[in-house]
Amino acid sequence: MKKLWITLGVLVVLIGGGLLGAGSYFYHVAIARGDKAFVTQSTKLSKKSQVYHQKYWYQHVKKQTWTIQSADGLKLVAWYVPKRGSAKTVVLAHGFAGNKALMGAWAGMYHELGYNVLVPDARAAGASQGQAVGYGWLERKDDLKWAQTVVQRTKTTKIVMSGISMGAAGMTMASGERQLPQIKAYVVDSPFTSAQAIISYQAKEMYHLPAFPLVNVTSAITRVRAGYSFKTADAQAAIERNHRPIMIISGTKDDFVPTWMGKALYRHANQPKRLWLVKGAGHTTAITQNYQEYKRRVAQFLKQYVD
């Protein structure tokens, strides 16, 4: 009997150690700052692209570099491009493993629509400090502080909060917090419902692994090392508290953030809200699939609440 208990104890230690090791590995892959080999993004220009002119403009336009300090003491960096005579500004958040240099298509569109454009590097990305990706939860308060900085530093009276992918989820989470009166609307492209849901989905799709227990272990490690759990980073819960107009964009062929997440967020949102399901679009590719239609629909939505 004693041997049985010793054997069971050894197995528990081995299994626990294995899970802890695997959880630490996936923390490094998903949360820790660093290159994410499974995400490929480029600033390379192609004249065949529908957003060539927007990206070219963004690469060459004169930008102001702004900095703020986050609530937890990180130096955060952004680019600001003014629009002469405009009192409207968009705060534009990039996606997972991205940075401000990759946001040319969206920055160009908003500038064409008459907005000053502020594009931050999220914490743990680009020129901003930080060692842990927050899956939108840590970034939500950073985004709101950037909005506050816009009000303090410019003559802006109307702000649109916008983002793509993780940036979209972070903006959705920000929508559930106390809002500045200058924030008039949200536009989010390819947001996920929660960190728990998207990491569980990607564990299955990319690694063919069940969410339990690996995602749970990784979440526990994230709580200790980064200060939040995956279940805490909940855009769906946040959108239920939001009462600003919100437009949700999801591609029907998105294999990185599944379309059902955009639909779920829409169901849980309060009015006024709009959902645009872009037939055939992949992850954040709706703007490159049909730029003029994307621009028209965003402009139409914002005209009701901002212009």
Q: What is the pLDDT of residue 45?
A: 83
Q: What is the pLDDT of residue 39?
A: 60
Amino acid making up residue 155: K
Do the domain assignments include residue 121?
yes
Do the domain assignments include residue 37?
no
Condensed to tens digits (0 to 9), the pLDDT of residues 76-128 reads 999 999 999 999 999 999 999 999 999 999 999 999 999 999 999 999 999 99
Q: Please state which of the ranges 23-32, 177-186, 233-242 shows the lowest mean pLDDT.
A: 23-32
Q: What is the pLDDT of residue 128?
A: 98
Amino acid making up residue 119: V
* Cβ-based neighbours of 237, under 8 Å, separated by 6 or more: 176, 194
Percent of the chain with pLDDT over 90: 82
Mean pLDDT, the chain, integer: 92
Span 47-75, mean pLDDT? 96
Tokens of 2: 């004693």
Percent of the chain with pLDDT over 70: 91
Span 293-300, mean pLDDT? 98
Amino acid making up residue 275: L
Q: What residue numbers bound the domain in which 55 lies? A: 50-305
Do the domain assignments include residue 34?
no
What is the number of other CB atoms lying within 10 angstroms of the CB of residue 225? 14
Q: What is the pLDDT of residue 13?
A: 36
Rounded CA gap, 95 and 122, in Å? 9
Q: What is the pLDDT of residue 136?
A: 98
Higher pLDDT, 37 or 14: 37
CATH code, 297? 3.40.50.1820
Do the domain assignments include residue 10?
no
Do the domain assignments include residue 179?
yes
Span 300-306, mean pLDDT? 97
Q: What is the pLDDT of residue 213?
A: 87
> pTM of this prediction?
0.92
Rounded CA gap, 242 and 248, in Å? 13
Condensed to tens digits (0 to 9), the pLDDT of residues 145-200 reads 999 999 999 999 999 999 999 999 999 999 999 999 999 999 999 999 999 999 99
What region does 247 belong to: left with phi over 0, alpha with psi -120 to 50, or beta? beta
Sign of CA dihedral 130, 39, 161, 46: positive
Quote the number of domains for the chain.
1
Condensed to tens digits (0 to 9), the pLDDT of residues 193-217 reads 999 999 999 999 888 888 888 899 9
Do the domain assignments include residue 38?
no
Label residue 12 by pLDDT band (50, 70, 90).
very low
Label residue 16 by pLDDT band (50, 70, 90).
very low
Question: Per residue, what are the HEC states of the chain?
Answer: CHHHHHHHHHHHHHHHHHHHHHHHHHHHHHCECCCCCCCCCCCCCCCCCCCHHHHHHHHHCCCEEEEEECCCCCEEEEEEECCCCCCEEEEEECCCCCCHHHCHHHHHHHHHCCCEEEEECCCCCCCCCCCECCCCHHHHHHHHHHHHHHHHHCCCCEEEEEEECHHHHHHHHHCCCCCCCCEEEEEEECCCCEHHHHHHHHHHHHHCCCCCCHHHHHHHHHHHHHCCCCCCCEHHHHHHHCCCCEEEEEECCCCCCCHHHHHHHHHHCCCCEEEEEECCCCCCCHHHHCHHHHHHHHHHHHHHHCC
Do the domain assignments include residue 80?
yes
Do the domain assignments include residue 31?
no
